[in-house]
Structure 1
Amino acid sequence: MRTAEPGTTPDGPSAPDEHAAPRVRTGTVDATATVDAAGWPDVSAVPTASRLRTAVTAALVRRALDGLPLRARFAGSEDIGLGGPLIDVRDPTAFHARIGTHGLVGFGESYMAGEWDASDLVAALTVLAGHAADLIPAPLQRLRGLWAPRHPHDERNTPDGSRANISRHYDLSNDLFALFLDDTLTYSSAVFRGFPASWDRLAAAQHRKIDRLLDLADVGEGTRLLEIGTGWGELALRAAARGARVTSLTLSREQRDLARERVREAGLDERVSIELCDYREARGRYDAVVSVEMIEAVGAEFWPVYFRALDERLDPGGRMALQAITMPHDRMLASRDTFTWIHKYVFPGGLIPSTEAIEETARAHTGLRLARRDAFGAHYAETLRLWRERFTERADEVEAFGFDDVFRRLWTFYLAYSEAGFRAGYLDVQQYLFTKQNPAAGVGRP
């Protein structure tokens, strides 16, 4: 069985009753599949919470949901909420035990275990994302540092930590990603001409996004281009087709191997070099740097290092085009130290920055100066919808690759959760242009 996380995945906060053993779940996540305890230890085991903890959790959940435009149906009780998309909690005891013990990590694990579902998962999660700042009472928000789980130390984005973190997501399987991505194998937001988007327009929309970034960086014949974060090579191929000489860096072996294969097939070996290399280890000087949705994997601790590394690779007068997912600054500050479901099961070590954090870091630590910023979050919502629908349609093929039902629910939740963030406006995505100033012109440095 292939899983996103091995059994050694870090646990969330400890159970409230140190003498109470967890209840192993022998039920099913659908009509036929059981939860594999070896592959999914924290999904198969429902934490045993005290009656007081369960009662307090149930009251807090009811308080949070009661005033929202949705319906929450708990088995054996009346619906709560103001009406809207339905959240159907099939096992309230397990649901409350998980949330009471592991917070929002438990909320996601409860979905993976099949203890709750939603008639329209994206719509329900969009409501929750739109009220993220209000779901937890203000007094508990102020005490977040006491109850919220912290990031595991071994997931810090040091050079070794980054390699491990990136591998856990991007080295799952090239075949898996190919099932739900379009033929460009581009795993970042597209830019559409209009909505609603359709699958047959996705590849063109991905090329439109790439071309906008290459235009921002003024990439053309003879440009020396450094790409931080290769993906599966589409941007490097498109830049080389313009006549650029591209050095592209990745920490994923599977991405590196397939990107190199695509470069060979395109006959662009002399123009494109794909290297297994950390951004901190990059060498050489370039006319342009492009980095697409890679900063989210850097971590706040290393944002200054990241921007300085890119600045040092650029010649004076050079241009850097950056695509980044962003979140509101106050929410970033409130949640930046919290270990979440996304960290545990999807992107270990990740942190989505705010626009303020990006711009202030570049200003304080580099000679890069912001020249332009464009937001297009609605395009990401549509990109994610197309990926999610494709993933759902091809569930049998996902299973054939050895990914079990829990993994498929995990991936469905991840795509829906992400789409909901953009639909609610909780998340956004930006394209930035930074220019490299001449230090002799008086640009301050730290």
Structure 2
Amino acid sequence: MTYVEPRPATVRRGACHAVPHTDAAHWPGVAAPPSAARVRTAVTGAVVRRALDRLPLRARYADGTSVGRGGPLLEIRDPRAFHARIGAQGLIGFGESYMAGEWDAPDLVAPLTVLAAHAADLIPAPLQRLRGRWAQRQPHHRRNTPDNARANISRHYDLSNDLFTLFLDDTLTYSSALFRGFPAHWDLLTAAQHRKIDRLLDLARVGHGTRLLEIGTGWGELALRAAARGAHVTSLTLSGEQRDLALARIRDAGLADRVAVELCDYREARGSYDAVVSVEMIEAVGEEFWPVYFRTLDDRLAPGGRAALQAITMPHERMLASRDTHTWIQKYIFPGGLLPSVEAVERTVRDHTRLTVARRDRFGAHYAETLRLWRERFTERADEVAALGFDATFRRMWTLYLAYSEAGFRSGYLDVQQYLFAKEDPTR
């Protein structure tokens, strides 16, 4: 999608600032704002200014005027393009406007946290009721059918193992860590990732001889730690890049006899297991396939077995309001994805499986700190990212993705849960 050769730095001029060159061939949605009618752009501008003026931030426009109640600064460098994009594509336009350099912030997370905290009421109520008419719908070809799921996963996880290595810690764990205290420091991240993994393995009672199914391999750290306990692990992934590196790490650790990593959709899993673990996989499943996903956990789990799940969640009412909407995150970062709510997870488990929710623990603040550490490391290594062939537009996109996600957790709009599901043994 976005892997491009590095090129000499060039800029185009906006209203008052130089902004990065955007390769139109690779970034057709970013290279130029939509040709919106003046009236529509003006109306959007009035609505946006009014919304920003009610928030605890300061939005400063290119002409020097400001709106907002005071707080973190949001600099709108090219107001016409900014309003035209939002008027045409809503939050997709907001993200593309940042990628194009039309707005920025000295502390990107701070204004995004304010916006996330007010996500439910940013859009006026009358427009909220008309959401179905103006909001883009999710593309049909991004539904997570077995064929589409492979392409969706590949667009993110097969970008480059080298890219992820630059900003993840040595465990290559791409999910929330679990810290002992805050603020978190980079040199504590590996221990915090191990703490999170060990907690999931403990919940599922993974030990010597356990037959463990892992849905979503990542780069293999959970499988490695489970195998080191004496478990026999079958791990499933749809990412060829991840599988190759995970297998290499497993071989290097001398655990190849205990771990099998299969390029396999969760719906194709077979066999019976004492435990199932899945870390931040459900977010990529899609609402229509949640029942299938949880039935897979149920069907693969032996009676008396336990399943441990880590999941990012969002408020139920926001999930219902936005579940059919095509978002910036879906377009550029995780195609086909949708975050569930706690209510949706527990209702799906209740209505479609024989599993029971035995425990749920939330730790969203830990994810905010995890994302901060990743974002800071990504920023520090921007030159190395560029050397891999990722252009300035990609780097702004990835920075916004990490900051946007961090802001979601800092505001409480997003959370992360660890679930324990139990399957009763009818013979006992």
CA contact (8 A) 2:156 2:333 kept: yes
**Secondary structure of 1:45 counterpart:** coil
Structure 1 equivalent of residue 105 of structure 2: 118
Matches within 5 A, 1:39-188: 39-188=26-175
Structure 1 equivalent of residue 7 of structure 2: none
Consecutive unaligned residues of structure 2, counting only runs of 5 or more, are 5-10
Alpha-carbon distance, 1:267 to partner: 0.5
**Secondary structure of 1:44 counterpart:** coil
CA contact (8 A) 1:54 1:97 kept: yes
Alpha-carbon distance, 1:80 to partner: 0.4
Alpha-carbon distance, 1:206 to partner: 0.0
Q: Residue type matched to 1:264 in 2?
A: R
The answer to whether the aligner puts 1:365 opposite 2:352 as a matched pair is yes
- Which residue of the other structure, out of 291, 294, 299, is the alignment partner of 1:312? 299
Q: Residue type matched to 2:2 in 1?
A: T
Alpha-carbon distance, 1:4 to partner: 6.1
Structure 1 length as normaliser, TM-score?
0.92
Q: Residue type matched to 1:314 in 2?
A: L
Alpha-carbon distance, 1:51 to partner: 1.3
Q: Residue type matched to 1:396 in 2?
A: D
Alpha-carbon distance, 1:77 to partner: 4.4
Matches within 5 A, 1:219-234: 219-234=206-221
The answer to whether the aligner puts 1:431 opposite 2:418 as a matched pair is yes
Q: Residue type matched to 1:162 in 2?
A: A
CA distance in 2, matches of 1:4, 1:317: 46
CA distance in 1, matches of 2:265, 2:60: 48
CA contact (8 A) 1:4 1:346 kept: no
CA contact (8 A) 1:26 1:44 kept: no
**Secondary structure of 1:379 counterpart:** helix
CA contact (8 A) 2:3 2:389 kept: no
Q: Residue type matched to 1:359 in 2?
A: E
- Give deviations 1:169-214, integer Å, cap 9, x for gaps: 0000000000000000000000000000000000000000000000
Matches within 5 A, 1:346-361: 346-361=333-348
- Give deviations 1:218-246, integer Å, cap 9, x for gaps: 00000000000000000000000000000
The answer to whether the aligner puts 1:376 opposite 2:351 as a matched pair is no
Change (3 A) 1:339 1:439: farther
Matches within 5 A, 1:284-433: 284-433=271-420
Structure 2 equivalent of residue 217 of structure 1: 204
Q: Residue type matched to 1:319 in 2?
A: R
Alpha-carbon distance, 1:78 to partner: 1.3
Alpha-carbon distance, 1:32 to partner: 8.0
**Secondary structure of 1:42 counterpart:** coil
**Secondary structure of 2:66 counterpart:** coil
**Secondary structure of 2:147 counterpart:** helix
CA contact (8 A) 1:388 1:415 kept: yes
Structure 1 stretch displaced more, 319-328 or 46-55: 46-55
Instruction: Count residues with an aligned counterpart.
Output: 421
CA contact (8 A) 1:4 1:345 kept: no
CA contact (8 A) 2:238 2:263 kept: yes
Structure 2 equivalent of residue 17 of structure 1: none
The answer to whether the aligner puts 1:3 opposite 2:5 as a matched pair is no
**Secondary structure of 1:36 counterpart:** coil
Matches within 5 A, 1:8-19: none
Q: Residue type matched to 1:280 in 2?
A: R
Alpha-carbon distance, 1:33 to partner: 4.2
CA contact (8 A) 1:326 1:429 kept: yes
Q: Residue type matched to 2:269 in 1?
A: A
CA contact (8 A) 2:284 2:338 kept: yes
Alpha-carbon distance, 1:438 to partner: 3.4
CA contact (8 A) 1:27 1:35 kept: no
CA distance in 2, matches of 1:106, 1:97: 8
- Give deviations 1:116-139, integer Å, cap 9, x for gaps: 001111000000000000100011
CA contact (8 A) 2:206 2:212 kept: yes
CA distance in 2, matches of 1:200, 1:338: 39
The answer to whether the aligner puts 1:235 opposite 2:222 as a matched pair is yes
CA distance in 2, matches of 1:176, 1:72: 33
Structure 1 equivalent of residue 186 of structure 2: 199
CA contact (8 A) 2:216 2:237 kept: yes
The answer to whether the aligner puts 1:268 opposite 2:252 as a matched pair is no
Consecutive unaligned residues of structure 1, counting only runs of 5 or more, are 6-24, 442-446
CA distance in 1, matches of 2:41, 2:17: 25
**Secondary structure of 2:176 counterpart:** coil
CA contact (8 A) 1:4 1:168 kept: no
Alpha-carbon distance, 1:398 to partner: 0.2
- Give deviations 1:347-377, integer Å, cap 9, x for gaps: 0000000000000100110000000000000
Q: Residue type matched to 2:61 in 1?
A: F
Q: Residue type matched to 2:311 in 1?
A: A
CA distance in 1, matches of 2:327, 2:12: 25
Structure 1 equivalent of residue 8 of structure 2: none
Alpha-carbon distance, 1:3 to partner: 1.3
CA contact (8 A) 1:73 1:80 kept: yes
Change (3 A) 1:33 1:145: closer
CA distance in 1, matches of 2:421, 2:275: 10
CA distance in 2, matches of 1:263, 1:424: 38
Alpha-carbon distance, 1:27 to partner: 4.1
CA distance in 1, matches of 2:81, 2:38: 12
CA distance in 1, matches of 2:111, 2:397: 16
Structure 2 equivalent of residue 16 of structure 1: none
CA contact (8 A) 2:157 2:242 kept: yes
Alpha-carbon distance, 1:440 to partner: 7.0
CA distance in 2, matches of 1:439, 1:238: 31
Change (3 A) 1:30 1:275: farther
The share of aligned pairs that are identical, in percent, is: 77
